[in-house]
Amino acid sequence: MLIRLAYDIQFEIPATVAMVAMLNVHPSRVNDLLEPDELQTEPRLDVESYIDGFGNRCARFVAPKGHLRLSNSTLIRDSGQPDPFNWSAQEIPVGSMPHEILQFLLSSRYCEVDRFSNIAVELFGEVAPGWSRVQAVCNWVNNHVAFNYQQARPTKTALDVYTERVGVCRDFQHLAITFCRALNIPARYATGYLGDIGVPLRLPMDFSAWFEAYLDDRWWTFDARNNEPRIGRVLMATGRDASDVAVTTSFGQADLRYFFVVTEEETATSTDPEAYLSDGA
């Protein structure tokens, strides 16, 4: 399966500002790319690419006052298979985990593991450990939190989600991640493309957040928001939580003016992808 990936994000910049974008496909998927995956900027800026401490490809640049457009279109080969799952995957005792995994058991900005240790055990302590426990976490979050675009805010933490019971995809994942960590299951936040391949059309194409849990000896994809195996996720970045992997981080003011994402299967009859990107207002 081929998936067209594209974005067109536009800002009004009131004064020169440094920015970091995490808009590239994750290095783990580079070999699947069939077209270049380079951030295009208007105006043309000096963009420096680097790999951060989590292994994500980042692009940094300094945007001048004025209008800024970030865009690209690329094509990726995908297995077309739904997220793998493995009901027999086991939890690893903390003492046996690789060193670099341990950080994903700790508290982070939006995941107050220290405030959830009792709650998590009360809710999930009786569930059989392993895949079924992570799935139970996802089920709980999916059943108890309502999706509402109007109820997003940048300061919302797992504890806020747990009490307010409403949020967007990032909020679902933050709560699930926090439960997992409180149960000593390493969990990390993931961002990427997720379209509607294989499911009834639900929402405009967009970036999405999901999470990964560490079972057996690898990371597995979970998604407390959609809570079903999906086809066509394309990973962009992983980190402790949304604070580490914002699609764009600006170190100063940058006012979002336009936001458009494409992620859909490309077939012989697809419309020209450039069409999507031509004239954001």
Q: What's the order of all strands across the beta sheet hosting 17-21?
A: 48-51, 57-63, 17-21, 248-250
Q: In the structure, how many helices (H) and strands (E) does the chain have? A: 5, 14
Contacts 24+ apart (CB under 8 A), 93-98: 94/184, 97/186, 97/214
**Chain centroid, CA 243 distance in Å:** 11
Q: Pick the closer one to a second copy by CB: 179 or 276.
A: 179
Beta bridge partners of 182: none
8 A C-beta contact, residue 258 and residue 280: yes
In angstroms, what is the minimal distance from the CB of 29 to a second copy?
21
| Candidate residues 93, 126, 272, 279; the one interacting with a second copy per rule CB under 8 A | 93
Q: Pick the closer one to a second copy by CB: 99 or 202.
A: 99
Distances (CA, A) of 127 to 124, 131, 137, 180: 5, 10, 10, 12
Name, in order, each residue with C-beta under 8 angstroms of 199's C-beta and a sequence gap of 6 or more: 228, 230
Residue 55 sits in the site that holds a second copy (CB under 8 A): no
* The one segment of 192-200, 207-215, 217-225, 242-250 that binds a second copy by CB under 8 A: 242-250
d(CA 179, CA 140): 10
Residue 256 sits in the site that holds a second copy (CB under 8 A): no
Name, in order, each residue with C-beta under 8 angstroms of 254's C-beta and a sequence gap of 6 or more: 11, 12, 13, 17, 19, 63, 68, 248
In angstroms, what is the minimal distance from the CB of 119 to a second copy?
7
Q: Pick the closer one to a second copy by CB: 79 or 148.
A: 148
**Which amino acid, residue 139?**
N
80 φ/ψ sector (left φ>0, alpha ψ -120 to 50, else beta): left
In angstroms, what is the minimal distance from the CB of 121 to a second copy?
11
| Candidate residues 25, 58, 76, 120; the one interacting with a second copy per rule CB under 8 A | 58
Residue 151, both tokens: 């109820």
Residues 107-126, interacting with a second copy (CB under 8 A): 107-109, 111-112, 114-116, 118-119, 122
| Candidate residues 66, 199, 252, 271; the one interacting with a second copy per rule CB under 8 A | 252
| Candidate residues 38, 100, 228, 255; the one interacting with a second copy per rule CB under 8 A | 100
Number of residues counted as binding a second copy (CB under 8 A): 47
Residue 62 sits in the site that holds a second copy (CB under 8 A): yes
| Candidate residues 33, 47, 127, 159; the one interacting with a second copy per rule CB under 8 A | 159
Residue 132 sits in the site that holds a second copy (CB under 8 A): no
In angstroms, what is the minimal distance from the CB of 277 to a second copy?
26
Residue 197, both tokens: 């391949």
Positions touching a second copy (CB under 8 A) are 18, 20, 50, 52-53, 58, 60-62, 93-95, 99-100, 102-103, 105-109, 111-112, 114-116, 118-119, 122, 144, 150-151, 153-155, 159-160, 162-165, 184, 243-244, 249, 251-252
